[in-house]
Chain A
Amino acid sequence: MNRMPIGQYIPGDSLIHHLDARVKLIAFILLISTIILTDSVPGYCSLMVLTAGLLFVSKVKLKTALGFIQSLFLFLMVIFVMNTLFFDSAQPICSWWIFHISLGGMAQGANVVLRVIFLMIFSSVLMATTAPMEAAFALKSLLRPLQYIRIPTEDLAIMISVAVQFIPVLMEETEMIRKAQTARGAKFESARLREKAASVMPLVIPIFLGAFRRADELSLAMEARGYRGGKNRTQNKQKPLRKQDILALLTAAAVCFIQAYAF
């Protein structure tokens, strides 16, 4: 692993790190809605200022927040080009066959690409500042109302928690198996699609078996510690939101409101 995986939690002690994860999740949803509502140049400028502020406060490096660009570059280019070429516009700059290049199309392409970029930046910041467990916990408490329609949120929460904690272990194991099979001649490095496809089995089967074996052992350990499903368990009380959390939530709501109406 030469590069850091995208969406990695980076421990820190910024203001954003210390916020309640529920607030971060709600604020994130609000921000996404405003991104979707934005489509003017001043709107994007103000989003840019907002992003800069967020990066500054969260102490997340721009490089980390933009880490996804490399892997999404092609995708973004395709979106831009497709929009540019196919956007139906009354005043094309030039036309050829079914392609009409127009200013409107370019604007539309830029619009979509910018939205994706902002979306990715915001989610990078969210993931970089929120520990997976906290995110899982926040998700659980936001899902809590679902228990009234008989969805076992307590079991769901344990599932999420277990899954999240297994991620680093399984990633390490995957890496190890990939290397072991490479050393035996499996061609993951190969550019040929056929060879690449053939090399999937030696990777997938051991990973699945490993995951089953681990799950099996963990279930034994959980049982030994008295787990018998979501019933009869201590109910985690909702932690009340602190002043700064409420303040942050109000700020986010206000910013989104202004952003949505002003631009």
Chain B
Amino acid sequence: MLQNIQLVIDTAIADAYYMGKILYPENFKDIEPEKKINANHIPQTCGESENVSIFCDRVYWKAKTAMVMRSIDGKGISYSYAFEGSIDLSLDDVSICIAQGEMVAILGHNGSGKSTLVKHFDALLSLQKGSLKVAGLDANNTDRIWELRKKCGMVFQNPDNQFVSSIVDEDIAFGLENYDTPIEQIPSKVSEALALVGMSGFEKKSPHMLSGGQKQRIALASVLALEPEIIVFDESTAMLDPEGRKEVITTIRRLHDNEHKTIILISHYMEEAVFADRIYIMKNGRILAQGTPREILTDQVLLAEARLLPPLPVRIYYDLQKAGIILRHCPLTEEELVEELCRLN
């Protein structure tokens, strides 16, 4: 058993190392895998394979953030909306770091500051305190704000309030025109963007005739046309029906997996966060915790403090535990739960 675990860990380390070496050769030039991370770093409790998988996730992320390629690098960000007599901090000393190509979910109850935070990433709110770099650009530098907004795209919550035109292709062209894209390049860029969200052939449709999920995908295509490095989804699935939500999430995951976009996902659907590489939890303008989905979503105490509910399989895991039924790992998805239940002995 222990031998197997050792093997898994070795593979994970090797994977992380080679991935790093391929993606960021200059940073990995002088590092041998043994020197960087070795099997001694395995937590003492590695008897449980769930900890092993947490460990593997962590190794993976460490390998990534050890490099300088950071899409978001924010330190000590504070922000308060200037209301009369109000000194409530919407953001209170928030530090956040997101590696290029990472998919990060930011969770928190309504009013926890998640939207305020991500608006900084697109310079839609100007920095009051702290420092922030987005795709290597200083968010404070007002001269380069347009460059920053090109690197960081944003899809908002209400599918109806993001269109400037009642024809899909004109809407997608809007962003391109803002950056003075030569007119002969526009049609090909529009159709590329539509292909990325799986909506080729919708060029001449009117957004109002589409379903909610389709509208959000068009809004996403409008953002993608500018070829951003980072895409922020500010509760983009909150107003959709389950089917629309599935459509959008599938599209987001495809962009992450195939196009290697940095994805920042704000949501209060735990099921959507399961697929993220990492999760930040926010409460009252502060970051409460960050970690892999497995670390965060299985922490009942933490989630309760953040006024969030754990995913259903996690609740079942703990409730079964109370009833004396111990599953080997804490499952995150329904499929995992069924798998665990079937292998109970």
Contacts and interface: CB of A to CB of B under 8 A. Distances in A.
B128 interface: no
Pick from A158, A162, A165 the residue with the most CB of B within 10 Å.
Answer: A165
Given A133-B170, A214-B160, A220-B156, A227 B165 contact: no
A143 B244 CA distance: 40
A164 interface: yes
A222 interface: yes
Contacts of A235: 183
B182 A133 contact: no
Contacts of B177: 233-234, 236
Given A220-B124, A223-B124, A165 B153 contact: no
A242 interface: no
Given A214-B160, A234-B183, A226 B166 contact: no
Contacts of B179: 226
A228 B156 contact: no
A225 interface: yes
Contact of B146 (A133, A220, A226): A226
Contacts of B149: 223-226
Given A218-B161, A234-B181, A133 B167 contact: yes
B106 interface: no
A132 interface: yes
B262 to A, nearest CB: 16
Contacts of B165: 133, 161-162, 165
A232 B181 CA distance: 10
B175 A225 contact: yes
Contact of A234 (B158, B164, B180): B180
A228 B124 contact: no
B223 A225 contact: yes
A192 interface: no
A226 B162 contact: no
Contacts of A221: 154, 156, 161-162, 219
Nearest to B146: A226
B48 to A, nearest CB: 44
B263 interface: no
Interface string A182-223: 000000000000000000000000000000001001101111
A176 interface: no
Interface in B277-309: none
Contacts of B170: 133, 161
Pick from A132, A224, A233 the residue with the most CB of B within 10 Å.
Answer: A224
A159 B332 CA distance: 48
Nearest to B125: A220
B146 A228 contact: yes
Chain A interface extent, by class: 20 to 34
Contacts of A236: 177, 183
B267 interface: no
Nearest to A170: B160
Chain B interface extent, by class: 35 or more
Nearest to B158: A217
A71 B274 CA distance: 57
A132 B167 CA distance: 10
A226 B156 contact: no
A227 B178 CA distance: 5
A223 B122 CA distance: 9
A166 to B, nearest CB: 9
Contacts of B162: 217-218, 221
Nearest to A231: B180
B173 to A, nearest CB: 8
A161 to B, nearest CB: 5
Interface in A142-180: 158, 161-162, 164-165, 168-169
B180 A133 contact: no
B326 interface: no
Contacts of A214: 158, 160-161
Given A226-B149, A234-B186, A165 B156 contact: no
B227 to A, nearest CB: 12
A237 interface: yes
Contacts of A222: 164, 174
B308 to A, nearest CB: 25
A131 interface: yes
B208 interface: yes
Contacts of B207: 165
A131 to B, nearest CB: 7
Contact of A232 (B180, B206, B223): B180
Nearest to A154: B177
26 contacts: A131-B166, A133-B166, A158-B164, A161-B166, A164-B166, A165-B166, A165-B208, A169-B160, A169-B161, A217-B156, A217-B158, A217-B161, A221-B162, A222-B164, A223-B124, A223-B149, A224-B122, A224-B153, A228-B178, A232-B178, A234-B176, A234-B177, A234-B181, A235-B183, A236-B183, A237-B183
Q: Which 6 A-B pairs have the closest CB atoms?
A: A226-B178, A165-B166, A234-B177, A225-B175, A217-B161, A221-B162
